[in-house]
Structure 1
Amino acid sequence: MKKIKFPTAQTILLIICAFSALLTWLIPAGKYDTLVFDSEKGVFNQIGLTKTTQLEASQSTLEELNVKIPIEKFTSGDIYKPIAIPGTYKEVTANPQGPIEFIMAPVKGIIQGADIIFLVLIIGGLIGIMNKTGAFDAGISKMANSLKGHEYVLIILVTTLVSIGGTTFGLAEETIAFYPILIPMFLAAKYDAMVPLAAIYLGTSIGTMCSTINPFSTIIASDSAGISWTTGLIPRAIFWVIGTTICILYILKYAKKVKNDPQLSIISDQREEISSLFAIKSTSDLKLTPRLLLILAVFALCFIIMILGVSIFGWWFEEMTAIFLAGAIIIGFISKMKEAEFVETFVKGASDLLGVALIIGIARGVSVLLDEGLVSDTLLYHASNVTGGMNKGVFANVMLFIYSGLSFFIPSSSGMAVLTMPIMSPLADNVGFGREVIVNCYQYGMGLFAFINPTGLILASLAIVKVGFDRWLKFCLPLLFILMIITMLWLIASIYLF
C-alpha cells in the first residue's frame, strides 16, 4: 500500500483558503464602522460600509464614540490604521466568496504581500552571491573548529538573540533571511536541520509572544486600549525570561538526543537531501582569506544596518530590501565577479526562494477572502460577547484562547491590535482588572498559536528548510502544550500579583 504523503505548504494554504471561502457562505456578514485620522485635513473619518463621515478630531469626539484613547495617539501617528468603533457592529448584506473570488484571493494576497515577497527574493539573490564567493563555506569551517565540543553554545546564542529581537522591535519576517545562513552552521556542528529551524523560529515566536517594547504589538495594542505601553511591562518581561528559557532547554534536549544518535532525528530520512540542499563542505582546510573576511563583514553589516534601521529609524520593507540589494552588489564587486555571472547567480538565488514568496502571498489570500466576505468583524463581535459573567481567572484564559483563534484569521499583530483592542479592552473594566491584562491575552494568545499557525510564518519557514508541516507538529506540539499550561497559570498569577 502506497504511503500517503502530507500535503505541501501551498496545498495546505489553498485548502484553508477554500475553508475560509466556505465560511463566508455560513457566517452572517457584519461590519464595524472604523475610525481613521486624516493627517492632511486634521479630521477623523468614520468609515461605514456605504458612507464616510468627517468628524472633528478632538477628545470629545472620541468620548462620544466610546473610544477610550487619547487624541494624541492619533495626531502623533502612533495609531495610523483604522480602528473598530465599539457599539457600531451591524449585520450587512452577505458577500459570499465563490470560485472566482477563491482563485483571485491568492493573487490579491501576493499583490498585498509584495513588500515582504520582494524582501525574500532579494535575500535569496544575496545568499546566492554569498555561496558563489565561498565565504560561507570558509566561515562555517572556521566556526565549526572554534566551537568543537561546545556546539550547544550556538543554540543558546541564536535563540536568545532572535528572542531579544522579537521582544524589542518585533523581529519576525526578517528571520527568513537567517535560515540559509545558519542551517549550514548547525549541520556542520552535527545537528539536524530541525535544531536551527527551532532556534530561529521558536526564538522569534517566544520573543514576539512576550513582547516588551515591540512597537508592532505591545505599543500599538496599548495605545489602542487607551493605556501606556509601560503598564504591564514587568510581568511581560518576567514571562519573556521564563518562556525563552523553556524554549532553549527544549531545543537543547532534542539537539543532544539527535547528536548522540542521528537516527532519533524527526527528519532522519531527509539528512542527505538537506545536506545536499545547503551544500555544506566537510573539508577543514578552507582558508578564510582577507577578501572572504571582508565579504563576511559586509554581509554581517547588512543585518546590523537593517536592525538599527527598523528599531531606531522606523524603516520597513522597502529600506530593508534596498540594504540587501546594495550588499549583494558590493559583495559582487569585492569578489571581482563578472557582470553576467553576478546577474545569473543572483537570479538563481532569488528563484530558490520563489516558493517561499508564493506561500506568503497565498497566506495573505485567507485574510482577503474573510475581509471581502465581510465575516472578520462578525467573528470579532461574537468573540467579544462570550465572556460575560466570568470570574477574573476564567475570563483571562478565555480571552487567551479567543485571541489564539482570531489569529488564524488575522495573523498580523498590528492589524489584530487596532481591530480588536477598542472592542475587547473595555471588557476588562466590567470584570474589574486593568486593560493591560487584555493586551497580555492578545500577545500570549497570538504568540502561542503562532508556533503552528499555518496562516502565519511557519509554512514559509518550513519551505526554506524543506521540512514538512507534519514533522514540525511532531516536534513542536509537546512544547506548545507546556507553554500553554504555563501561560494560563501565569495569566492568573499576574492578575493578583501585579
Structure 2
Amino acid sequence: MNWNIKAPNTLILVLLVMVFFAALTWVIPGGQFDMVEVNGREVVDPESFQYIDSSPTSLTELFLAPVRGFNDPYGMAIIVFVFIVAGSFSIISKTGAFDVVIRRAAKFFSENPAWRPVYIPFFMVLFSVMGATFGMSEETIVFIPLFVTLSLALGYDSITGVAIPYVGAHIGFAGAVYNPFTVGIAQGLAEIPVFSGAGFRMLLWAAVTVTGIIIVYIYASRIHKNPKKSPVYDIDKNRKASEDDGIIPPIKAGHIIVLLLFFGTLGLLIYGVVQLGWYIEELSALFIGLAVLSAIFGRLSGDEAANAFLAGMKDVMGAAVIIALSRAILIIITDGQIVDTILFHLSASLDNLNIYASAGLMLGVQSLLNVIVPSGSGQAALTIPIMAPLGDLIGITRQTVVLIFQLGDGITNMIIPTSGVLMGVLGIARIPWEVWAKWLFIKMLILYAVALVFIVIAVAMGYQ
C-alpha cells in the first residue's frame, strides 16, 4: 500500500489554519484581562481576567480577514519590504555584480577545500551575534538571495542558504544576551534590572549557537555529498539550470561599485537599526536607494532596471499573499476575543505541578502563544505580567521566567506560519513552508532539549 500523501500547497495550508482558528472562536469563550501601565507600557493585570461576550467569526468576517490582512499596517510593511528587497536584489543580479563574486568564491572553495568548513560556522556565528544583541529578525530577509545563491554555488542547497542567516539569527534571538526587544522589555515588565543575569545567558547563547551550527553543518555536508537527498532538489535543479552556464565573467569597475554600494547598505542597515531606531519603512527606503544606484552604476537602461525590479517582485508574489494570510489569522483570534482566554487557561494549567514540570510547561505555553502572538515585544507585554507573579507562587525566579519566555519565543519563530518574516524569507528562497517545517521540526526539538537543560539548571540554581 502506498502511504505517500502529498502535502497541501502552502497557501491552502495557511487558509486551513485560518479556518481552524475561526472555528475556535465559536468554541472558546471570549475573555479579557484589564490593562495597566507599568514603566510607560500597557501590560496585563494578571488578577483581572473575566469572561466576556463571545465574538465568533462570521462567514462574512472570515472572507474579509484576508483583505484585512493585506490592510494590516505591519503585514503591509513586511510585504512592501519583501517586494522592495526582492526587486533590489534582482537589479543587482542583473548587473552581474553578485555573479562575479559568487562564482569566484565557489571556485576558491572548490580549489581550497580546507576552507570550506569555515563557511557555515563563520556566518552563523555572525548572524547569531546580531540576533542576540539587537534582535535581528526582519533584517535577515535582505541576506536570503545572496546566501541561497552562494550556497548553491558551493554545492549545498537553498535550505542551507536560508538556514545560515535565518536560523543563525534566530538561535541568537532565542539565546539573546542583550536583545532590547525581548530580554530588555521582559525584564522591565518583570521588575528586575534590565540585562541582568547576562553571564548565564551568554552560556545559553553559546550552547544554542554551537548546536545550531552543528545541525546545519551536518545537514549541508550530507547534501554536498549527495544533492539528491535535498528536499528541495528539484527546485534547486531548475534554479541552477536557468542561472548557471559555468562561465566566470571578468570583474568590471561597475561590478566593484555595485558591490561597495551593497556592503555599504548592509553597514548602514546595522547602524540605522542599532543607533537610529530604524525599522521596516526606513529599511525599505534604504533598499530603494540601493536599487536606483545599482542600476545607474551597473549601467542598466531604464527598461532593464524596471523589468528586473518587477521580475524580482513577481518571484515573491506568493509570499506576499501568505504574509497577508498570516496576519489574517492574528486578526481573527484577536477580534474573536480568545487570546486572553487561551492565555488564562494555559497559565492555570501550571497549578499543582512540581517546580521543574512547571518550568517545562511554561516553555510549552510560551511556544504555543508565539503562534498567535509572534511579536516578541508584544508577547512579553501579554505574558510576563502573568507569568512573573505565577513564577513567584511556584518558586521560579523572575529571571528564569524571562529566560523561558525568550526561549519559547525565539525557537518557534523559526517554524510558525503566522510569522510574516519567515513566510517572506521562504518566499524569496522559493521554499514551500511545509517543506521547511518538515526539515526543521526534529532539529527544532534538539534545540528545545538544549533549552530545557538550561531551564532546569536555572531553576535548580535559583537564577537571578
User: Which range, TM-score by smaller chain?
Assistant: over 0.9
Aligned 8 A contact 2:167 2:414 in 1: yes
2:198 to 233, 237, 251: 233
Residue 106 of structure 1 pairs with residue 106 of structure 2 = no
Higher helix share: 2
Q: Give the aligned residue type for 1:17.
A: M
Change (3 A) 1:271 1:115: closer
Please give the secondary structure, in 2, of the residue aligned with 1:460: helix
Q: Give the aligned residue type for 1:466.
A: R
Aligned 8 A contact 1:155 1:196 in 2: no
Question: CA shift at 1:4, angstroms?
Answer: 4.6
Counterpart in the other structure of 2:217:
252
Counterpart in the other structure of 2:357:
394
Q: Give the aligned residue type for 1:171.
A: M
Change (3 A) 1:316 1:270: closer
Please give the secondary structure, in 2, of the residue aligned with 1:315: coil
Aligned 8 A contact 1:258 1:265 in 2: yes
Please give the secondary structure, in 2, of the residue aligned with 1:183: helix
Superposed, 1:281-300 pairs within 5 Å as 281-284=245-248, 286-300=249-263
2:57 to 87, 97, 100: 97
Tell me, in whole angstroms, the C-alpha distance in 1 between the residues paired with 2:424 and 2:302: 31
Aligned 8 A contact 2:149 2:161 in 1: no
Question: CA shift at 1:378, angstroms?
Answer: 0.5
Residue 34 of structure 1 pairs with residue 41 of structure 2 = no
- Decide which moves more: 305-314 or 459-468: 459-468
Question: CA shift at 1:207, angstroms?
Answer: 1.1
Change (3 A) 1:256 1:406: same
Instruction: Give me the CA root mean square deviation.
Output: 1.9
1:124 to 58, 68, 86: 86
TM-score (structure 1 length as normaliser): 0.87
Question: CA shift at 1:435, angstroms?
Answer: 0.6
Q: Give the aligned residue type for 2:103.
A: S
1:344 to 292, 297, 307: 307
Aligned 8 A contact 1:193 1:274 in 2: no
Residue 194 of structure 1 pairs with residue 195 of structure 2 = no
Tell me, in whole angstroms, the C-alpha distance in 2 between the residues paired with 1:471 and 1:119: 24
Please give the secondary structure, in 2, of the residue aligned with 1:231: coil
Please give the secondary structure, in 1, of the residue aligned with 2:64: helix
Tell me, in whole angstroms, the C-alpha distance in 2 between the residues paired with 1:425 and 1:348: 49
Tell me, in whole angstroms, the C-alpha distance in 1 between the residues paired with 2:394 and 2:148: 47
Counterpart in the other structure of 1:55:
none
Counterpart in the other structure of 1:304:
267
Counterpart in the other structure of 1:313:
276
Question: CA shift at 1:11, angstroms?
Answer: 1.6
Counterpart in the other structure of 1:6:
7
Residue 446 of structure 1 pairs with residue 409 of structure 2 = yes
Deviations along 1:421-474, one digit per CA (max 9) or x if unpaired, are 112111121122321111111111122322321212434333322233343234
Q: Give the aligned residue type for 1:134.
A: G
Tell me, in whole angstroms, the C-alpha distance in 2 between the residues paired with 1:470 and 1:104: 25
Aligned 8 A contact 1:274 1:466 in 2: no
Aligned 8 A contact 2:35 2:44 in 1: yes
Tell me, in whole angstroms, the C-alpha distance in 1 between the residues paired with 2:12 and 2:200: 40
Tell me, in whole angstroms, the C-alpha distance in 2 between the residues paired with 1:200 and 1:335: 26
Question: CA shift at 1:391, angstroms?
Answer: 2.8
Question: CA shift at 1:338, angstroms?
Answer: 2.3
Residue 365 of structure 1 pairs with residue 325 of structure 2 = no
Counterpart in the other structure of 1:476:
440
1:162 to 122, 127, 140: 127
Superposed, 1:36-51 pairs within 5 Å as none
2:95 to 115, 133, 144: 133
Please give the secondary structure, in 2, of the residue aligned with 1:425: helix
Counterpart in the other structure of 2:184:
219
1:267 to 232, 249, 253: 232
TM-score (structure 2 length as normaliser): 0.93
Q: Give the aligned residue type for 2:65.
A: A
Tell me, in whole angstroms, the C-alpha distance in 1 between the residues paired with 2:368 and 2:410: 11
Unaligned runs of 5+ in 1: 37-68
Question: CA shift at 1:314, angstroms?
Answer: 0.8
Q: Give the aligned residue type for 1:400.
A: L
Question: CA shift at 1:186, angstroms?
Answer: 0.8
Tell me, in whole angstroms, the C-alpha distance in 1 between the residues paired with 2:245 and 2:170: 31
- Decide which moves more: 236-245 or 195-204: 195-204
Deviations along 1:320-352, one digit per CA (max 9) or x if unpaired, are 111111111111221232223322322222222
Counterpart in the other structure of 1:83:
43
- Decide which moves more: 397-406 or 347-356: 347-356
Change (3 A) 1:447 1:270: same
Question: CA shift at 1:3, angstroms?
Answer: 6.5
Question: CA shift at 1:2, angstroms?
Answer: 11
Deviations along 1:58-93, one digit per CA (max 9) or x if unpaired, are xxxxxxxxxxx5xxx31xxxx3xx322222211111
Aligned 8 A contact 1:232 1:437 in 2: no
Counterpart in the other structure of 1:434:
397
Deviations along 1:245-295, one digit per CA (max 9) or x if unpaired, are 011111111111121222332333333223246x244223x1122220110
Counterpart in the other structure of 1:41:
none
2:291 to 314, 328, 353: 328
Aligned 8 A contact 2:254 2:299 in 1: no
Percent of aligned pairs with the same amino acid = 30
Tell me, in whole angstroms, the C-alpha distance in 1 between the residues paired with 2:422 and 2:315: 18
Aligned 8 A contact 2:57 2:332 in 1: yes
Aligned 8 A contact 2:231 2:435 in 1: yes
Deviations along 1:12-61, one digit per CA (max 9) or x if unpaired, are 1111110110010000101112235xxxxxxxxxxxxxxxxxxxxxxxxx
Residue 464 of structure 1 pairs with residue 447 of structure 2 = no
Counterpart in the other structure of 1:62:
none
Tell me, in whole angstroms, the C-alpha distance in 2 between the residues paired with 1:174 and 1:276: 29
Tell me, in whole angstroms, the C-alpha distance in 2 between the residues paired with 1:280 and 1:442: 44
Deviations along 1:148-176, one digit per CA (max 9) or x if unpaired, are 31223221122111111111111112212
